[in-house]
Amino acid sequence: ANESLHTSSNFTIVQEEPKGTFFDKAMADAKTSRYVIFGFGLGAAMILGLIFLVLIQTPGVLTTMVWSIVIGIFIGLIGAGHYMSRKSAIWMAQGIRDDREIIGLFWLSRISYVASGLWFVTICCLRKRIVLAIACVKEASRAMAAMPIITILPIIQAVGLFVFCIPWGIFMAYLASSGEITAECMCSLDQDDDTEDSLILLNSTNISNSTNGTAIISDDSTGCGEGCFLYKSFSYSQNTKYAGLYMLFVWFWTSQFIVAIGQLVVSISTAMWYFTKNKIGVGD
């Protein structure tokens, strides 16, 4: 938004607004990155997900992956503590840092050592739960392999969300257009004029000039004079603003409801598959 520099009852002088709004820039960025968004974000992500689904069914792959991450975090905390401890000693020996930085880095190294010890104790206490979680992920991957139709569930959810967006967008468009239109005249001021006493005559209204910026003058008439253009904006009542907040709540509630339905479908399907004794006909 424009930043106000000077106000009075007749006019407001503001800084010149940068070219393009946030929405315009966001749409331009989306158009420029459309191949990355729709190519890698949708196509490649689905392919990599299916490959990962096959890999974690291979014996030892998921177990190695999980425990490598757990051990890697432990080693990383110890390594960070050792590095900061040595670095603080080097700074103290060379005298290239002040005492606060040396003491701060020293205690950060001790915090890293303590965090590594707490991590080790936590992993030792939760090792059986980690093994159980690995087994659950393996069974879930087998269920998805036996019921591949689950993989198109996100597409069905996206279609449902799109259908919801049609009436929701119509209501939002009607709500956005229900405000009162305020007409104003916007005139570019002469930036090369260094005199402070110069005046601009606009519909019989004298306004002060500025060395830079733009003047916005409230005006009810249709003509703004030479060098000016008519600027219109919407002003909304308090009830309209509350209605907009309600529509925002409707959007979040409905979208998360669709996501929750997908989670229920996947979880119930996996549970039914797991407790089915004869799995030969499942997925046919």
More confident residue, 21 or 200: 21
Report whether pLDDT(39) > 80.
Answer: no
Mean pLDDT is lowest, of 6-10, 75-79, 207-211, 270-274, for 207-211
Report whether pLDDT(9) > 90.
Answer: no
Is residue 136 very low, low, confident or very high in pLDDT (cuts 50, 70, 90)?
Answer: confident
Check residue 21 and give its pLDDT: 56
Give residues with Cβ within 8 angstroms of 74, minimum separation 6: 116, 119, 120, 123
Mean pLDDT, all residues of the chain: 76
Taking the C-alpha atoms of residue 157 and residue 244, their distance in angstroms, rounded to an integer, is 25
Taking the C-alpha atoms of residue 147 and residue 276, their distance in angstroms, rounded to an integer, is 13
Decide: residue 60, CB within 10 A, 0-12 exposed, 13-18 middle, 19+ buried.
exposed
Amino acid at 51: I
Mean pLDDT is lowest, of 69-83, 90-104, 191-205, 240-254, for 191-205
Taking the C-alpha atoms of residue 46 and residue 151, their distance in angstroms, rounded to an integer, is 9
Check residue 250 and give its pLDDT: 93
According to DSSP H, which parts of 95-152 are helical? 99-125, 127-146
- Asked if 119 contacts 77 with a C-beta cutoff of 8 angstroms, the reply is yes
Report whether pLDDT(209) > 70.
Answer: no
Taking the C-alpha atoms of residue 52 and residue 61, their distance in angstroms, rounded to an integer, is 10
Taking the C-alpha atoms of residue 184 and residue 207, their distance in angstroms, rounded to an integer, is 14
Terminal Cα-to-Cα distance of the chain (whole angstroms): 58
Report whether pLDDT(236) > 50.
Answer: yes
Amino acid at 103: I
Check residue 97 and give its pLDDT: 83
Q: Got the DSSP string for 57-103?
A: TSTTHHHHHHHHHHHHHHHHHHHHHHHHHHHHHHHHHHT-S-HHHHH
Tell me: the pLDDT tens digits for 248-283? 999 999 999 999 999 999 888 888 888 887 766 665
Side by side, which strands form the sheet with 4-7?
A: 4-7, 11-14, 214-218, 180-188, 228-235
Taking the C-alpha atoms of residue 284 and residue 274, their distance in angstroms, rounded to an integer, is 16
Tell me: the pLDDT tens digits for 155-206? 888 889 889 989 998 988 888 888 777 777 766 655 454 444 333 334 333 3
Q: What integer is the mean pLDDT of 26-32?
A: 74
Question: 99-138 burial by CB neighbour count: b if 16+ within 10 A, else e?
Answer: eeebeebbebbeebbebbeebeeeeeeeeeeeeeebeeeb
Backbone angles phi, psi at 209, to 5 degrees: -90, 165
Taking the C-alpha atoms of residue 168 and residue 114, their distance in angstroms, rounded to an integer, is 52
Q: What integer is the mean pLDDT of 120-133?
A: 94
